[in-house]
Amino acid sequence: MSRKKIFLLMTVPLVVIFFLFDTVPLLTGFVYSLTNSKGFGTFRFIGLSNYFRLFTDGSVLSSYWFTFKFAVVTTVVVNVIGILLALALNSNVKFKTFFRGIYFLPYVLGGLIVGYIFNYIFTFMLPSVGKALGWVFLSSSILGNAGTAWIGIVITVAWQSVAFNILIYISGLQTIPTDIYEAAKMDGSSSWNTFWTITFPLLAPFFTINLVVSMRNFLMVFDQIMSLTGGGPASSTTSISMLIYQNGLSGNQFGYQSANSVIYFIIIVAISVFQLKVLNKREVQL
């Protein structure tokens, strides 16, 4: 069998599967976004009315604000903690292989499971400790307050997601030759100066991967919010994915939320492309 036939046998089925299960649903969603469909029964085409309505819908705008705020804060938290822990786990410490495995365990768990665990911690365990110690700020669940519920989601998602970032950063640290560090030490470079002028610049490609993947994943957060707050209290933690799911499937807004999902898809792609261009330029400059 020729190489061309082998290539076609390997690629054509994958292209067909991708088209059927990715491209077709995307195009179908776009078609529905031009209708007033409720998800069932008859519907009619209404053009771009759903798209114009999105920009004046308060619930949609507030969900976008929450989602972007959450994604930016969590991306920063996860990457800062990820770099620090990767540096610690890459140093000459005892049982570092064991600790690497321990830190990666949360990433294996499902988002719903982690959310329910932290829901119990925030709702029952921490308030009990707060009351016992007389700490007012811990005496009630932060998930029940519209102003602090998002912090609980950030903590939960960061705890679970940081494992992936640690793994990527450790992989990057192991590609840096030890000779560079030895030369810097001989030159009298401090630990901070060595990190800022050697380690961090050489980690730039891995930093790009983590930043783009983290931002994209956090923009699509769903499972943890479903199990922690369900979008409450008072819709203060309703992400865009949650809004599309709730109102699109059970709120008779299938066509309207299809338009929302199309806009959201475009935004995520645009943010990812922008991040790649900016961060790739930084890598070239370094």
Radius of gyration from C-alpha coordinates of the chain: 23
Sequence-separated (6 or more) residues with CB below 8 Å from residue 125: none
Mark residue 44 as left, alpha or beta (left: phi above 0; alpha: psi -120 to 50; beta: remaining).
beta
pLDDT-above-70 percentage for the chain:
95
Please give the torsion angle defined by the CA atoms of residues 249, 253, 257 and 258, in that order, rounded to the nearest 10 degrees. Answer: 80
Pick from 126, 135, 137, 119: nearest CA to 237: 119
Q: 58-97, pLDDT tens digit by residue?
A: 999 999 999 999 999 999 999 999 999 888 888 776 766 7
Q: Does domain 33-95+162-285 have CATH number 1.10.3720.10?
A: yes
Please check whether residue 29 is in contact with residue 261, taking contact to mean a CB–CB distance below 8 angstroms. Answer: yes
Q: 230-267, pLDDT tens digit by residue?
A: 898 888 999 999 999 988 888 789 999 999 999 999 99
- Mean pLDDT score of the chain, rounded to an integer? 87
**Using alpha carbons only, what angle is made at residue 12 by residues 11 and 16, rounded to the nearest 5 degrees?**
120
Q: 1-48, pLDDT tens digit by residue?
A: 677 788 888 888 899 999 999 889 889 999 999 999 988 888 899 989
88-92, 166-170, 267-271, 272-276: least confident range: 88-92
